[in-house]
Structure 1
Amino acid sequence: MKCGIIGLGDMGSGLAKNLIKSGFETYGLDLDPNRLGAFIDMGGIAARDIGNIGAECDAVFVMVMNGDQARSVMLGKDGLVSHMTAGSAIILTATIKPHEARAIGADMAESGIHLIDTPVSGGFPGAQGGTLTMMAAAPDAVLDLYAPVMAAVSANIHRVGDRPGDGQTVKACLQSLIGAQFSATFEAAALAAKAGVSGQVLLDVFSSSSAGCGVVNNALEKIIDRQFTGTGSSIHTMHKDLTISMGLGEELGVPLHTAAAAMQIFHAGRTKYPDGDNWVCTRVIEEIVGAELHRNKAK
């Protein structure tokens, strides 16, 4: 199979890296010439445009930021659906609203092109390491056919449904939990800083307790080392994901109290530090209390 990737940012570049590593001829497209240059350097083929990717590839990953971009890339004028052959597949790895994925699937239904709705989790490390978790929704026969392509970028492929939107629904549930975990970590870090506890002590205790997990441990590591930018986890992405979670809760009439609190913390962080990563939310709380958490000591 020939593969394509639209969107070569922090996540898409990781998909590309691991597809090429697994031996797939891989085409890529991105608006940023620096990203495209890095993709070429790793062995990828720069596509002329979306139509070129569609015409050349059997499977195309779409890793864009939102539902409008996904729809444009897939169904817009000269979009993928206009150029891909029957039996090929679009693998939607972007996180968008469930109803947007359902609408895209409905509009693709007569095209003969498969849609695999599979948002991912694992962030920048997972994308670069090929260890992403996929929440894949498509008929089993389609997932069986494209399993080798998906396995090249993922360590865990969960079959969560057979319809477009099923994958996005599971991702919205997951992000409501992760957002709450992040926010609780940010608050605990600020509490420890104000109390004069060192970051290393807090990390040692948290990581060896029942509260320790990948989300909490990674966030706390970034906080105590003051790594608030350049970690591959832009605050805009999590803010967008929480917006999707909250929207799904409103649509279904489900109260999401802790996710709502997390949403406000991320909103504050994005407003004050729009170029920061997720962990920069801690700085907003630290500024309120007048203390910072560092690895060796609080300041």
Structure 2
Amino acid sequence: METRSNTRSTSAGLIGLGAMGAGIAATLRRAGYDLHVCDARPGAAEAFAAEGGTAHANPAEVARQCDCIVSVVVNAQQTEEVLFGPNGAAAAMKPGSVFIMCSTVDPNWSISLEQRLAERGLLYIDAPISGGAAKAASGQMTVMSSARPEAYAKAGSVLDDMAGKVYRLGDKAGAGSKVKIINQLLAGVHIAAAAEAMALGIREGVAADALYEVITHSAGNSWMFENRMAHVLAGDYTPLSAVDIFVKDLGLVLDTARASKFPLPLASTAHQMFMQASTAGFAREDDSAVIKIFPGIELPPAKAKKEDTP
């Protein structure tokens, strides 16, 4: 269920200033937090902190400054590095501090991470996020969380302040990550289906912009069709969420289902489509580039960007 915390921290750390992380950091900064940040890319933390906050060289430095850390990196491997790598946060966090994990990961890994941190006297919130960079920056994204009550009691206010909707789905780690990968199943299938529909329309000689106009005002529309096929119309495959993100996320979906021998025919097909796009050279392009796997169609060219005006 969605609830809000009554307590509020005044400082927080954030590790990972990518598209989503930078938006969350900006939201927390607007909310008045004394924010401590770091990023693996040279200069990224300093650029963010130029408008407020403190840049640090590594996760350990962030951990020494605050009792709550929000991690917004790509996957479990990067989260392991943030926590347990050289200059990792875990060894520097004070007992009772909270680590908020926002990546899309294997739910069983998230469950085990809660126990590993508990052995160090640290609290953990399994808190994958959804909504895209724009909603992260506006504070309107969704958090799918699960955690022990004491973790919510200490850091629930940070979740509330960084998102429009915070769902508390259980009293231990795992449920948040399970709901997130189910969301990713739908997102990946919807993008793949949207690309297939647009590709067929182009193949049949329908004007792409006309098809987009009709579908977005008809029962066949989806949020992913409306959002991602706009990228196709613009010929702009700048990665907001890359093809390889869905290679990873749908892989997690299939691994979870395989463990209980649960069939996922649509997710399997969508995963193969993203795999094909990745191996064809589109791995780091926007996930809408999955449309490029369809043969015999001419996609809309890139539109010239308007010059900035004073």
Range with greater deviation from structure 2 (206-215 or 154-163): 206-215
* Residue of structure 2 in register with 1:261 after alignment: 269
CA distance in 2 between partners of 1:184 and 1:283 (Å): 13
Query: Which secondary structure does the structure 2 equivalent of 1:289 belong to?
Result: coil
The alpha carbon displacement at 1:246 in A equals 1.0
CA distance in 2 between partners of 1:61 and 1:92 (Å): 6
Query: Which secondary structure does the structure 1 equivalent of 2:105 belong to?
Result: coil
* Residue of structure 2 in register with 1:291 after alignment: 298
Describe how 1:70-109 pairs up with structure 2 within 5 A. 70-76=79-85, 78-109=87-118
* Residue of structure 1 in register with 2:120 after alignment: 111
Provide Cα deviations, 1:165-218, integer angstroms capped at 9, x if missing partner. Answer: 221111111111111100000000100101111222222222222332322210
* Residue of structure 2 in register with 1:28 after alignment: 37
CA distance in 1 between partners of 2:245 and 2:176 (Å): 17
1:187 aligns with 2:213: no
CA distance in 2 between partners of 1:30 and 1:295 (Å): 31
* Residue of structure 2 in register with 1:162 after alignment: 171
* Residue of structure 1 in register with 2:12 after alignment: 3
Provide Cα deviations, 1:61-91, integer angstroms capped at 9, x if missing partner. Answer: 1112221221232244543222222222100
Q: Which of the residues 149, 152, 155 maps onto 1:146?
A: 155
Describe how 1:8-19 pairs up with structure 2 within 5 A. 8-19=17-28
Provide Cα deviations, 1:6-52, integer angstroms capped at 9, x if missing partner. Answer: 11111111111111111101111112124223212231211132221
Query: Which secondary structure does the structure 2 equivalent of 1:146 belong to?
Result: helix
1:211 and 1:35, CA in 2 relative to 1: closer, same or farther beyond 3 A? farther
CA distance in 2 between partners of 1:260 and 1:16 (Å): 35
The alpha carbon displacement at 1:224 in A equals 1.1
Unaligned runs of 5+ in 2: 1-9, 304-310
The alpha carbon displacement at 1:119 in A equals 0.4
- Asked if the contact 2:98–2:154 (Cα under 8 Å) also holds between the matched residues in 1, the reply is no
1:250 and 1:270, CA in 2 relative to 1: closer, same or farther beyond 3 A? same
1:141 and 1:207, CA in 2 relative to 1: closer, same or farther beyond 3 A? farther
* Residue of structure 2 in register with 1:130 after alignment: 139
* Residue of structure 2 in register with 1:210 after alignment: 219
Q: State the aligned residue count.
A: 293
CA distance in 2 between partners of 1:289 and 1:125 (Å): 34
Runs of 4+ in 1 over 6 A off after TM superposition: none
- Asked if the contact 2:232–2:299 (Cα under 8 Å) also holds between the matched residues in 1, the reply is no
* Residue of structure 1 in register with 2:6 after alignment: none
- Compute the TM-score of the two structures, normalised by the length of structure 2: 0.89
- Compute the TM-score of the two structures, normalised by the length of structure 1: 0.92
Provide Cα deviations, 1:229-287, integer angstroms capped at 9, x if missing partner. Answer: 24x212222221111111111112111110011101111111221331101111221xx
* Residue of structure 1 in register with 2:259 after alignment: 251
* Residue of structure 2 in register with 1:52 after alignment: 61
* Residue of structure 2 in register with 1:198 after alignment: 207
Unaligned runs of 5+ in 1: none
CA distance in 1 between partners of 2:291 and 2:116 (Å): 42
- Asked if the contact 2:72–2:103 (Cα under 8 Å) also holds between the matched residues in 1, the reply is yes
- Asked if the contact 2:148–2:173 (Cα under 8 Å) also holds between the matched residues in 1, the reply is no
CA distance in 1 between partners of 2:298 and 2:87 (Å): 53
- Asked if the contact 1:198–1:293 (Cα under 8 Å) also holds between the matched residues in 2, the reply is no
What amino acid is the match of 1:166?
A
Query: Which secondary structure does the structure 2 equivalent of 1:33 belong to?
Result: coil
Percent sequence identity is: 28
- Asked if the contact 2:45–2:56 (Cα under 8 Å) also holds between the matched residues in 1, the reply is no
The alpha carbon displacement at 1:148 in A equals 2.3
- Compare the two structures and name the one with the higher helix fraction: 1
* Residue of structure 2 in register with 1:228 after alignment: 237
What amino acid is the match of 1:130?
G
CA distance in 1 between partners of 2:107 and 2:124 (Å): 14
CA distance in 1 between partners of 2:51 and 2:223 (Å): 29
* Residue of structure 2 in register with 1:241 after alignment: 249
* Residue of structure 1 in register with 2:307 after alignment: none
CA distance in 2 between partners of 1:74 and 1:279 (Å): 33
